[in-house]
Amino acid sequence: MTETDVVARTMGELLSAPPLEPADDFFIRGGDSLRAVELIARLSAAFPAQDGTPDENLGAALLLVLFEDATPQALGDAVTRHRAALAAG
Per-residue pLDDT at 55: 87
* Mean pLDDT (whole number) for 62-68: 95
Instruction: Name the residue with higher pLDDT: 83 or 39.
Output: 39
* Mean pLDDT (whole number) for 74-83: 96
| Model pTM score | 0.94
Identify whether the C-beta of residue 2 lies closer than 8 Å to the C-beta of residue 72: no
Q: What is the CATH number of the domain that holds 67?
A: 1.10.1200.10
Domain range for 13: 3-88
Helix (H, G, I), strand (E, B) or coil at 68: coil
Identify whether the C-beta of residue 4 lies closer than 8 Å to the C-beta of residue 20: no
* Mean pLDDT (whole number) for 48-67: 90
Cα dist from 66 to 11, 24, 25, 50, whole Å: 12, 12, 10, 23
Going by pLDDT thresholds of 50, 70 and 90, the confidence category of residue 52 is confident
**At residue 28, does pLDDT exceed 80?**
yes
Please give the tally of structural domains in the chain.
1
